Amino acid sequence: MCVFKKFRIDIGWLFGFSMILVLAAASLAEAGERLAVSVPIANIRSGPGPKYDIIWNVEKYHPIVTLEKKGRWYRFKDFENDEGWIYDSLVKKIKAVITKKAKCNVRSAPNTKASIVFTVEKGIPFKVIKTKGSWINIEHSDGDRGWIFKSLVW
């Protein structure tokens, strides 16, 4: 003989709880996402809105890792673990890297015997074109292109 208990479920409570789970899942999906600046110069702010102070500016292809989203604003960290807020229309899912060493040679081909096309300092962002082994083919927003060794970038 089977005995079933009757449960009274409050639909309003169930709907509210479901919405909390959906929002939490969406928030978790956004946290940790790697994006890059998609405009020539972007303002980084101290909080999620235009009334907050501009604490620094970054150039196109500057990569970030999102920490949270509040409305249309992302709180993020960058390659130096600096944190700030950026408006969502200023970033896109672009494969990008940024130099993390004081002097980085960018070469004409993916090997150390290739000629140096140019040298850059720490903190220069690039779009990733393709990779080959431990080398990355990169492009700066000004159009300069070349190959850089993976350990030189974040």
Boundary-marking domain end, from 57, 75, 94: 94
Quick one: 101 and 71 in the same domain? no
Burial 130-145 (b: 16+ CB within 10 A, else e): eeeeebbbbebbeeeb
Q: What is the pLDDT of residue 143?
A: 97
Residue 7 forms part of a structural domain: no
Helix, strand, or coil here: 115? coil
- Asked if pLDDT for residue 21 goes beyond 80, the answer is no
Confirm whether 22 is domain-assigned: no
Domain edge (last residue) among 72, 94, 116: 94
Average pLDDT, the chain: 88
Q: Please report the pLDDT score of residue 12 as a whole number.
A: 55
Residue 14 pLDDT > 50: no
* Spatial separation of the C-alpha atoms in residues 108 and 135, rounded to whole Å: 11
For residue 41, the model assigns a pLDDT of: 98
**What's the CATH code of the domain at 77?**
2.30.30.40
- Number of domains within the chain: 2
Domain that holds residue 76: 32-94
pLDDT digits (tens, 9 = 90+) for 43-71: 999 999 999 999 999 999 999 999 999 99
Q: Is 45 within the bounds of a domain?
A: yes
Please report the pLDDT score of residue 28 as a whole number.
44
Cα separation values, 107 from 72, 110, 115, 118, 119, Å: 39, 7, 6, 7, 9
Residue 13 has pLDDT above 70, yes or no: no
Question: What pTM does this model have?
Answer: 0.80
Q: What is the pLDDT of residues 98-138, one digit of tens each?
A: 999 999 999 999 999 999 999 999 999 999 999 999 999 99
Percent of the chain whose predicted confidence (pLDDT) is above 70: 81
**Are 48 and 76 in a shared domain?**
yes
Residues 85 and 111 in one domain: no
SS3 107: strand
Q: Which of 71, 94, 117 is the last residue of a domain?
A: 94
Write the DSSP string, 39-101.
SSEEEEESSSSTTSPEEEEEETT-EEEEEEEETTEEEEE-TT--EEEEEGGGEE---EEEB-S
pLDDT number for residue 29: 43
Regarding whether 82 and 59 lie in a shared domain, the answer is yes
pLDDT given at position 149: 98
Mean pLDDT of 85-94: 98
